[in-house]
């Protein structure tokens, strides 16, 4: 495991790490299910489905809800239409994210986002939150790169930032993120407040748990001299 002194860049997961998106995703699923004649899922159920991309989310949601027989691709299209109308309208950065990102930027760390979410939704979300300029790379689920838990997306982010994987810290909230980091050769820290498919943060086999992105930034930067 690398020491913090060797880390020059940070790769972030999106949903559940930087942004609380579960409410918007649930709203889009609720609208989809209403059209299909199925009862909505609880928020906790929706949170447990986040992280593997849109198609997987819709497929597992339909199974969980025991929804009437329907064409999966048609259901995915319905969901995407509803999500397009809601993405970035209510989602918020988790506490500590913006100060953490600003601290890392001011200290010269390269930053990227790696997410299994499709690029259109990813960019719409980041643009509406006003944080796109902070990232040197954005690698999304439909970029034609093997998605997390494979390490290929993280390797692409490292190339975008001009660093080798051991010098790029992955910060995520799920087993998917940990497995992808291990596959890519990146150290990995996790936040405890994310979705992780309904499992507790104590189950994550990461190198460190950090309370917030801001705490992670403070650890990476280290103690700063006291003025005077």
- Which residues are known catalytic residues? 13
Greatest alpha-carbon pair distance for the chain in Å reads: 70
Q: Name residue, tokens 């810290």.
A: 169
72 touches 58 (CB < 8 A):
yes
Which residues are within 8 A (CB) of 131 and not within 5 positions of it... i.e. 6 or more apart? 18, 93, 98, 101
> 175-184 vs 152-161: helix axis angle to the nearest 10?
60
Distances, alpha carbon 55 to alpha carbons 94, 111, 120, in Å: 25, 27, 15
Q: Please tell me whether residue 55 adopts helix, strand or coil conformation.
A: helix
Give the dihedral sign, CA 69/75/79/81.
negative
């Amino acid at each position: 495991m690398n020491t913090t002194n060797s880390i020059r860049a940070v790769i972030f997961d999106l949903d559940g790490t930087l942004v609380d998106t579960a409410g918007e995703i649930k709203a889009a699923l609720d609208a989809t299910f209403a059209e299909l004649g199925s009862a909505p899922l609880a928020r906790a159920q929706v949170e447990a489905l986040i992280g593997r991309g849109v198609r997987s989310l819709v497929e597992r949601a339909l199974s969980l809800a025991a929804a009437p027989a329907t064409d999966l691709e048609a259901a995915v299209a319905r969901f995407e239409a509803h999500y397009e109308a809601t993405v970035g309208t209510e989602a918020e950065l988790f506490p500590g994210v913006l100060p953490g990102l600003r601290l890392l930027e001011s200290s010269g760390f390269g930053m990227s986002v790696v997410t299994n979410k499709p690029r259109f939704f990813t960019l719409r979300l980041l643009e509406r939150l006003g944080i796109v300029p902070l990232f040197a790379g954005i690698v999304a689920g439909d970029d034609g790169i093997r998605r997390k838990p494979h390490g290929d997306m993280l390797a692409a982010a490292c190339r975008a930032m001009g660093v080798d994987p051991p010098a790029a810290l992955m910060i995520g909230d799920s087993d998917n993120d940990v497995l992808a980091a291990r596959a890519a050769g990146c150290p990995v820290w996790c936040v405890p407040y994310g979705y992780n498919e309904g499992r507790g943060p104590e189950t994550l086999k990461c190198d460190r748990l950090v309370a917030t992105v801001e705490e992670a930034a403070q650890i990476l930067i280290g103690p700063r001299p006291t003025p005077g």
